Structure 1
């Protein structure tokens, strides 16, 4: 079960005032949604002014992406990317289930900024698909919006895989260049944007101050998980520390932190005072990624978690790149040997070499994530690695790799919102 946690007295513009309910069109309109007061040029300027960045993983400046697609050759296409491949993240599926109008509003505004003549919502979750289709049936978006559903996979949300699937092919990454902003869906310049990013773009169009307009760029949806407490979906302002987030999730003395889904690697306990800040996290050798953070309990072993995470990545490899297949397999087998107390000094040397040499050699970020997991384990937990090289770990023996099943987090299920506006009562809270 995943709980939704609202910070008392703090703004949560994307979660909204009623995150446990599906937001109806009536509610969204009553909160200022779909208003036409703000034109494309002004909205683009607002996105740049607040330094709105992508919330799917890379954190690229949204205004830069919008301009690149707008200025490309041909009529652009825009895509809301809701395929959530990270096993520890639930925010995108929740957002499409609970607040589909907010995402569609942002998608339509992105189309206006870029001059796109059609849009797509790309996802793999059946409940999210139903929510989006119901929202489209409630209100004409003003341009063709197509819903494309794929099978869930770690690599299916990579932007070139998104384009490839929409064009009728498999949801697998392609070699670059060209990038999708140059040559995407049907050969057109294409914006592929995470659904949370588009939600925040829509919030920037609200009156300021408003329920979200002034804080759209200053917070992030986070999926917090760990064995010491229930998983939590929350929205927090940048600047909160990892230690404070651990307390919210219920892990009071973490032995390690698995950051940014699987892409941010493992952090030792002395990193818990790092703030949720993109620059500070990068300086600490990690990143926010998709906002999924797992806190390891005091009795959990980082070696076991690293082995399980890389096992998951090995299973999820698209098998297109030989270096990815062989690299993830070698990393997994060596980490499993380390967990079993069978890894010699040469194995540790190989892990270090692979952690340095493998990133950037695959068509997508999967191999990079596996290499970073190994590298951050060696860098952050050297004494633990040396101890486990010499003797088996009972915790690792009790929790062998299982293709990342322990890392998966269930999506909160919002209740249907049946409220309607009337003259005597307000339509919605907030």
Structure 2
């Protein structure tokens, strides 16, 4: 997607939801870049008093976020208030890290948010810092070709001149690699190491940057937090479902006429989201939900609400807010094979599942897509994809295994035909899903 950021579009939720399109239109995005003056004119000053509390007394912001039911928008969907409490409850001065890396190739939501509403994200980071007792906010962005962060120079200069922030804001340019956006990779890089995930322990909220309690939050999550601080939890819950309230930014691409970023109420049916991007459900065979480490959902289930609870029976989740529509004329096996090759090449290569498991799965899937797999290729793929989850140093192998397993389910008939009759004509057509080069960045530093 190039050119000016698209307007924010809010789609109505299902019948079981509270909100509708009208009352929540333009929550996060105004459709054009907002200066600090524009931002303050629209949202008002930073409500610092809402965030400040003693180390033993939960601040009003923490309570408001808990009542709002805000969950992380970076992919895991973890309750935001629980993360805030985990950091606020630790001894010593804390640190806040803004994860704006967005290394998911199919996502553009955080990039657009930082273009259109950067001060909303920075407000949320400052408020979170005050709530957990942090004196520094580290903003992690992918580096451009010159080694500089891609965004935020102008907004940060505006805030520095205005002296509105009671904590330090520091921007960092990290290697633009797929696994460098993992939260422990950010902590590791900020501590002077490579931008690679580390083991699951110690947890960042226990010992993160500089061995201090560290809160790592996605950019969109912090923008929602800033709005909750100003407008309250009831306002936030006016959209979405009772169990999963609020709106979310989603990137829609693939077989749609108007790809872009939409703001949708959680609970909106998947097919309705695609309609918002001028998609035609009758022309689709499946939708990739969550991104490259996500799940293929057959088009027949397009009426499923876009929530974690509704998608769970299909092994799917909203993830990073990605929907890629696959036309009937495309080959789902070939599209999956290209993504798996990318995931295998862009792993951290720190553990067995990434060094050996992913390449083996990617190779077998490529053979299946090309119609050159042996008689045992399907049984090997089922066995190996089941072995990947939960065995790596990070969640990268889990996502690849999830994607491969869902493709074997969604395109089972195609797999049988590829093995018995050879590849379908669509297997060698121009890819429907753009996949970046499979050669990762030379350095992680």
Per the TM superposition, whether the score is higher than 0.5 is: yes
- Distance in 2, matches of 1:169 and 1:406, equals 25
**1:6 is aligned to 2:9:** yes
TM-score normalised to structure 1 length:
0.88
- Per-residue deviation, residues 251-307 of structure 1 (Å, max 9, x unmatched): 313111111112222111222111011111122210111101101112111111111
Q: How many angstroms does 1:392 deviate by?
A: 1.4
Compared CA separation, residues 309 and 4, structure 1 to 2 (3 A): farther
Compared CA separation, residues 385 and 360, structure 1 to 2 (3 A): same
Compared CA separation, residues 402 and 342, structure 1 to 2 (3 A): farther
- Distance in 2, matches of 1:279 and 1:151, equals 34
Structure 1: runs of 5 or more not aligned: 408-430
- Distance in 1, matches of 2:429 and 2:9, equals 35
Larger RCO, structure (CA 8 Å, separation 6 or more)? 1
Q: How many angstroms does 1:14 deviate by?
A: 4.1
- Per-residue deviation, residues 7-61 of structure 1 (Å, max 9, x unmatched): 4635145433x22x21111111112241345344221111111210000010000
- Distance in 2, matches of 1:71 and 1:211, equals 27
Structure 2: runs of 5 or more not aligned: 11-20, 53-58, 144-148, 439-445
Q: How many residues align?
A: 405
- Look up the match of 2:443: none
- Look up the match of 1:26: 37
In angstroms, what is the RMSD of aligned CA positions? 2.4
CA contact (8 A) 1:303 1:377 kept: yes
**1:158 is aligned to 2:182:** yes
Compared CA separation, residues 348 and 277, structure 1 to 2 (3 A): same
Compared CA separation, residues 320 and 136, structure 1 to 2 (3 A): farther
- Look up the match of 1:398: 429
**1:35 is aligned to 2:40:** no
Q: How many angstroms does 1:336 deviate by?
A: 0.8
- Distance in 1, matches of 2:431 and 2:248, equals 33
- Look up the match of 1:388: 418
- Look up the match of 1:423: none
1:29-428 alignment to 2 at 5 Å?
Answer: 29-30=40-41, 31-36=43-48, 38-40=50-52, 41-124=59-142, 126-140=149-163, 141-207=165-231, 217-252=245-280, 253-390=283-420, 391-399=422-430, 404-405=435-436
- Per-residue deviation, residues 181-200 of structure 1 (Å, max 9, x unmatched): 11100000100000100110
Q: How many angstroms does 1:381 deviate by?
A: 2.3
TM-score normalised to structure 2 length:
0.85
CA contact (8 A) 2:358 2:397 kept: yes
- Per-residue deviation, residues 381-430 of structure 1 (Å, max 9, x unmatched): 221211112221211122479981499xxxxxxxxxxxxxxxxxxxxxxx
CA contact (8 A) 2:61 2:229 kept: yes
SS class of match (2:221): helix
CA contact (8 A) 1:33 1:102 kept: no
CA contact (8 A) 1:89 1:223 kept: yes
Compared CA separation, residues 205 and 5, structure 1 to 2 (3 A): closer
CA contact (8 A) 1:311 1:401 kept: no
- Per-residue deviation, residues 133-189 of structure 1 (Å, max 9, x unmatched): 334334321111111111211111101100011112111001121111111000001
Q: How many angstroms does 1:371 deviate by?
A: 0.8
- Per-residue deviation, residues 330-378 of structure 1 (Å, max 9, x unmatched): 1111111111111233110111111211111112222111111110011
Q: How many angstroms does 1:96 deviate by?
A: 1.7
- Distance in 1, matches of 2:86 and 2:79, equals 11
SS class of match (1:404): coil
Compared CA separation, residues 345 and 4, structure 1 to 2 (3 A): farther
Compared CA separation, residues 37 and 70, structure 1 to 2 (3 A): closer
CA contact (8 A) 1:57 1:289 kept: yes
Q: How many angstroms does 1:214 deviate by?
A: 5.6
SS class of match (2:135): coil
- Per-residue deviation, residues 193-238 of structure 1 (Å, max 9, x unmatched): 0010011010001135999796595110000001442321110001
- Distance in 2, matches of 1:213 and 1:207, equals 11
